[in-house]
Chains A and B, each alone.
Chain A
């Protein structure tokens, strides 16, 4: 089955700096890669996703890149703000009707 590895497990950045989280996946047939953000004490929420027919996607300060050959994808947060402090999860699935496999999560702390 699919295996998703996520690094780093914790990330501390200064406010205004950039943060990068990387994930690798094992199933070359995976074609959908969402990112979820879970603030302390709250439920996870989708922040961005990318499909395998696209190499990069941006939404304001957030971007995701996908390298299908290397089987890895990354989340980039620019101009970090204190409200970006949360746990971020990457995930992968191979097709509709199949399951979504999550990475272990990255705890991001933005220091003011």
Chain B
């Protein structure tokens, strides 16, 4: 399954709370991605980063924020502005860019209390 990990496995968010999902890789990959998976909607891109200290918005970035201070780490914060955060979140990485194999983490399921 590669060297990409996510934590926690399950996360509960209260109204008005920001929560952060962790994603770490030891594959020495430059590019990292965050996807949201909802039933019947496939994988939708939230943010992606091709290099440290740089990232771009995907299709559904509103209500989310990211940082890329280290090559190995790409945490995702789900802010209180995201009104429907309940979903399965998948982190992925690839060697350099989008047109190479993406290796996915095990995912984090976010639930709202």
- Complex-state Cα separation, A91 to B107, whole angstroms: 19
**Category for how many chain B residues contact A:** 20 to 34
Known: A43-B104, A43-B107, A44-B90. A97 touches B97 (CB 8 A): yes
> Closest CB of chain A to B50's CB: distance in Å?
7
Summed over the interface, the residue pairs from A and B with CB atoms below 8 Å come to a total of 60
Residue ranges of A at the interface with B (Cβ–Cβ < 8 Å): 1, 4, 6, 9, 32, 34, 36, 43-46, 49, 51, 89, 91, 93, 95-105
Known: A43-B106, A43-B107, A44-B90. A99 touches B41 (CB 8 A): no
Residue ranges of B at the interface with A (Cβ–Cβ < 8 Å): 1, 33, 35, 40-45, 48, 50, 56, 58-59, 90, 96-99, 101-102, 104-107
> Closest CB of chain A to B108's CB: distance in Å?
12
Q: Which of B1, B35, B96, B98 has a CB less than 8 Å from the CB of A93?
A: B98
- Complex-state Cα separation, A91 to B97, whole angstroms: 15
The reply to whether B104 and A45 contact each other, CB–CB distance below 8 Å, is: yes
> Closest CB of chain B to A75's CB: distance in Å?
14
